[in-house]
Amino acid sequence: MLAFQSNNIDLNKAVNELLFGEGAIIIKNVYPNDKIDEARTIVNHFADQQNKNNLNLSQRVWNLFGKGKIFSDLLTDEVIFNLVSDFLGTQFTCGSYCASRLLPGAPGQEPHIDYPYWDYYEKNTFPMGLNSSFPQNCQATIPLDDCTELSGATAYYPGSQKKLHYPTKDDDFSNLKQMIAKPGDLVFFNGNCWHGAMPNKSSHQRAVLLIEFLPKYIKPVEDLVSYLDESFLNNCSDKVKQLLGLTYPYPKIMDISKTANVIGIGYKVKN
């Protein structure tokens, strides 16, 4: 993966790598250890509740916005907002936000692509002419544990995002690479890039935060708002409001809307 330090990111080079290059990049040393440790402790607490009998080797922890301020803090870092604004537009939103924990022995995944293309094997349900010439998804991973070959770091297939295609058993997977990263790093990849978690063959857990970013006009896959209380929604930062889609006015009930209809005259209203 093309690598950057958090204090020296070439945004133009980074977003072009996501669209036209390998499809994945890493930014090193974005988060301090104390923030990663706090997030890991919370994730492990809720994941342990799902796995009291040690029968489930893979857990997902949802509703992260509601599980601690640290999860809002991690997601509103300027590194994320600067890069994703360039890639998806300045009003991008968060489509999904969860933690994934794989315990030793956990199996991996088949190669796939992500929402809104994750069921692209049913091509008849998508518009004609749909292609990957522009991005409609950006995935991010924040490692809470070491992501190594042995612990099952996510595999990806460089350049596979350039042609929109859901991978099948007949495709060539010989150029597999893995998203090797350390706690505190930040990995971005194009959701059209074929990828999948690998089996955890290590002696330790591998926990990561998984984030999906979308352009403002794509319907999120996860309802991130309904489980949040009124106090959170009233007091969260403007960046969190944007991530939750609260600053984008659509869809709305046009019959009772008090805002002006600017369809066809939007730029005139601004100027």
| Secondary structure of 19-75 as H, E, C letters | HHCCCEEEEECCCCHHHHHHHHHHHHHHHHHHCCCCCCCEEEECCHHHHCHHHHHHH
Q: Where residue 198 falls among pLDDT bands split at 50, 70, 90?
A: very high
- Would you give the distance in Å from CA 147 to the centre of its chain? 16
- At which residue do the structure tokens 């350039």 appear? 162
Q: Where residue 261 falls among pLDDT bands split at 50, 70, 90?
A: low
Locate all alpha helices (DSSP H) within the chain, ordered by sequence. 11-20, 33-50, 69-75, 78-88, 230-235, 238-243, 266-270
Instruction: Share the mean pLDDT of the chain.
Output: 93
| Of the candidates 16, 18, 57, the residue with the CA atom closest to the CA atom of residue 207 | 57
Report pLDDT for 270.
60
Percent of the residues in the chain that have a pLDDT greater than 70, as a whole number = 94
Question: Under a CB-based contact definition with an 8 Å cutoff, are residues 138 and 84 in contact?
Answer: yes
Q: Where residue 266 falls among pLDDT bands split at 50, 70, 90?
A: low
What's the average model confidence in pLDDT over 54-79? 93
Report pLDDT for 271.
57
Report pLDDT for 267.
63
Whether pLDDT at 248 is above 60: yes
The per-residue pLDDT for range 105-123, each reduced to its tens digit, is 999 999 999 999 999 999 9
> Residue 190, class by beta-carbon neighbours within 10 Å (0-12 exposed, 13-18 middle, 19+ buried)?
buried
> Residue 25, class by beta-carbon neighbours within 10 Å (0-12 exposed, 13-18 middle, 19+ buried)?
buried
Q: Where residue 187 falls among pLDDT bands split at 50, 70, 90?
A: very high
Q: Where residue 54 falls among pLDDT bands split at 50, 70, 90?
A: low
> 195 forms bridges with which residues in the sheet?
112, 156
Q: In what order do the strands lie in the sheet with 195-196?
A: 177-178, 155-156, 195-196
